[in-house]
Structure 1
Amino acid sequence: MTVTQPDVSVVIGAYEAMPYLVECLASVEAQTLDPARLEVVAVDDGSTDGSGEYLEKFAARTPFPVTVIRQANSGGPSGPRNVGLAKATGRYVFFLDADDRLGPEALERMVAMADRNNTDVVLGRIEGINRNPPKSMWHKTLERTDVHSSNIKFTLSAQKLFRHAFLTRHGMRFDESLWTGEDALFTMEAYLRADGVSVLADYTCYYLVGREDGKHVTKSGSYTLRFDSARVLMKLIADLVPPGERRDALMIRPFLVTLLPQFGPRFLKDGEEVRARKLELAKPLMDRYWGDGVARRLKVEERLRLHLVAAQRPELLADVVKFVKDKKQAAALLEKRGTRVYLVYPHFRDRAAGIPDAVYLAGPREARGFHGYRENSPRTFARRVLRKARRILTSRAAAGGTPAVL
């Protein structure tokens, strides 16, 4: 009897996943993809709530093969995913969290897109149920793109379709030493190594479910884990992308999503010891990876906070964080005939603080929201040159008594 390789292996790591696991598995069973083209590898990571038993019952009744592995609790999602990946036999692998669920046509559409474009990673549109998913990358379906030409760097969760041979070729596995951010590291590496990425934005493939008990890995754990996550992600980017515009653009993600929240409203509640520890953990990252190329891509308040982190100025940082937390609107100061907009956040042009004006300078996108702003475009520059030339010729003509024509 000939055994046909399945198109996709759905890898599910489950820990204390009931009752969410019921709908998760039902969404797999409801897939429009031919059951002969599908397999499930489920790893029960030491659950005590009946998740393992339910997986075994599911395996006994489904029309497609289901492998259930039961193991002692590993402490995080990386272990079960790696175990499942090692057992997967499909051409593609999809990592499905046990408390989330798939859209009915998700696997069929994503496999078709990967086959059509010969891409190594496919992102299916994500919607949230009691959770806020990333949104900026779903504006348009992209048959073939990459991490430099799209906004996919802001969705680094593991719930993507990956070409199995691609993962094997690069020896890719989840880092089991990380307790959070392991999926970001894995997915960013996949983006950077992939021969093409597809974005399926016109169909909801994945429903990110907010648990009523609030038990999401990304919401738990010590703040020190976030710095570990930022450190390894920044190092990966630096190792795989040469210095320059592309690296700076990618560094925005760990700075904004992983590092900056540690210096948001929660910073005001931290004791002096925790504040000092956070700045200590941030210092080597700021020293190595922070610079003008990253800073100029951020909004003023983001740039200002990170500038103060880099400068190790907790007393000034607390003032800025409080200003932002109170949702105050910074006044706009227009200079250079409206071509420069400075946002007057705390300590602007305060000599004692010594923060450079450039930190408060709004970029074109942010500045456009203020009345009176005139974008310093090449056309504006050309008009200034023309006006200056006219003034020079006019003055020369006046001095020589000859009319100027320009």
Structure 2
Amino acid sequence: MTVETQPDVSVIIGAYEAMPYLVECLASVEAQTIDPARMEVIAVDDGSTDGTGEYLEEFAARVPMPVTVIRQDNSGGPSGPRNVGLDKAAGRYVFFLDADDRLGPEALERMVAMADRNGTDVVLGRVEGINRVPPKSMWGKSLDRTDVHSSNIKFTLSAQKLFRRALLDRHGMRFDESLWTGEDALFTMEAYLRADGVSVLADYTCYYLVGREDGKHVTKSGGYTLRFDSARALMRLIADMVPAGARRDSLMVRPFLITLLPQFGPKFLKDAEDVRRHKLELAKPLMDAYWTPEVARRLRVHERLRLHLVARQRADLLVDVVEFVKAKKQAAAVLERRGTRLYLVYPHFRSAAAGVPDHVYLAEPREARAFDGYREAAANSFLRRALRKVRRMLPSAGFGTAAA
């Protein structure tokens, strides 16, 4: 394939039982403002029985851009179809589009232009939700060039991004077909870490994340053990690629907060005793290996407290905390050291029997600022104290201020 004939972007669609959502998905592809000659579509029907494959073939027959339809037996998850599509892709970039979601009309044109303009390997386009809640913290402003350490992009690890294909091929990157959930998080985090720059396009909605009314969505399926598999894989990737220290700890917040902690939320109260024990057993090696004071410091008090109790394998204490959080009660505040230190009184605070250290309940400034009476200690408070001490000593040293 010559440079003249190579498409700019390959849109890869893995589809399974996607009707009727596929209709609007493909309509959004057809409506793209990018020249049809600059794109290709590779659609993989993963053993559907609802007419998905037939509709893909009808689409391929009538649209101006080249469309390849591959029909295969069901693989059981999204990784297989995505890898099949990736192996067939010819574009300079690839974009993974879920068959029940939609693109904004200018999405591909804008994202390709942004990657070309900035020489970046990954582009995140703004996401909005339809009957689903999308990630939000990374869309404050567009960023021509950033990385996973300098922004909030670690909190959007879905695969619906623009990736430079040369990056993926250079590192042999593919979706892990042994994972039944969280495979996109693993793939995207690796791409972030390997990328020569990431762009964020925040001023145009590129992607519409659609919640299916039938509830059939991969993130809602599977047992709890799959979530631990996902957390384990992501933590190992981060540990393998980022040296121990503040940067690694900052990235570890994501799997602890998004993947692991929900297993010790309200659903934990409904779990049978053997399931509770099993969850704690599955969490233990992860807590032992990756739970550090710096990770803990970056969480809110109730998040930190729950994970501290998971690390200590204290299901009995954990239940009390989860019930408190589920009830949406406001924890009382205890102010000490002239208001510069604030503790939140969640269950077992300063209980001798529980033995949870005070620092677990200590609110960091970003959380403590919401409470009346809290005074944030100045970063240079040590220097100020030292200067005051020097000033007190000046008269006794004979440095008076009287005129000579």
Kindly state the Cα deviation for residue 368 of structure 1 after the two structures are TM-superposed: 1.0
Which portions of structure 1, spanning 4 or more consecutive aligned residues, are displaced by more than 2 angstroms? 378-394, 402-406
Alignment deviations for residues 38-58 of structure 1 (CA, whole Å, 9 cap, x no partner):
100000000000000000000
| SS of structure 2 residue aligned to 1:378 | coil
Distance 1:92 1:63 in 2: 19
Among all aligned residue pairs of Structure 1 and Structure 2, give the percentage whose two residues are the same amino acid: 82
The amino acid of 1:6's aligned partner reads P
Per the alignment, residue 383 of structure 2 pairs with: 382
Report matched runs for 1:158-237 at 5 Å. Answer: 158-237=159-238
Report matched runs for 1:94-109 at 5 Å. Answer: 94-109=95-110
- Name structure 2 gaps, 5 residues minimum: none
Per the alignment, residue 129 of structure 1 pairs with: 130
Distance 2:306 2:265 in 1: 9
Distance 2:197 2:125 in 1: 15
TM-score of the aligned structures, taking structure 1 as reference length:
0.96
The amino acid of 1:129's aligned partner reads I
Alignment deviations for residues 161-212 of structure 1 (CA, whole Å, 9 cap, x no partner):
0001110000000000000000000000000000000000000000000000
Alignment deviations for residues 16-53 of structure 1 (CA, whole Å, 9 cap, x no partner):
00000000000000000000001000000000000000
Q: Tell me how many residue pairs correspond in the alignment.
A: 401
TM-score of the aligned structures, taking structure 2 as reference length:
0.97
- Name structure 1 gaps, 5 residues minimum: none
Kindly state the Cα deviation for residue 255 of structure 1 after the two structures are TM-superposed: 0.2
Per the alignment, residue 154 of structure 2 pairs with: 153
Distance 2:224 2:240 in 1: 25
Distance 2:153 2:170 in 1: 23
Per the alignment, residue 61 of structure 1 pairs with: 62
Per the alignment, residue 20 of structure 1 pairs with: 21
Per the alignment, residue 35 of structure 1 pairs with: 36
Distance 2:99 2:361 in 1: 44
The amino acid of 1:124's aligned partner reads G
Distance 2:400 2:303 in 1: 50
Distance 1:72 1:188 in 2: 29
Per the alignment, residue 269 of structure 1 pairs with: 270
The answer to which of 383-392 and 291-300 deviates more is 383-392
Alignment deviations for residues 261-282 of structure 1 (CA, whole Å, 9 cap, x no partner):
0000000111101000000000
| SS of structure 1 residue aligned to 2:127 | strand
Alignment deviations for residues 151-170 of structure 1 (CA, whole Å, 9 cap, x no partner):
00000000000001110000
Distance 2:224 2:118 in 1: 40
Kindly state the Cα deviation for residue 393 of structure 1 after the two structures are TM-superposed: 5.7
Report matched runs for 1:318-329 at 5 Å. Answer: 318-329=319-330
Does 2:366 align with 1:368? no
The amino acid of 2:184's aligned partner reads D
| SS of structure 2 residue aligned to 1:48 | coil
Distance 2:167 2:226 in 1: 29
Per the alignment, residue 339 of structure 1 pairs with: 340
Kindly state the Cα deviation for residue 131 of structure 1 after the two structures are TM-superposed: 0.1
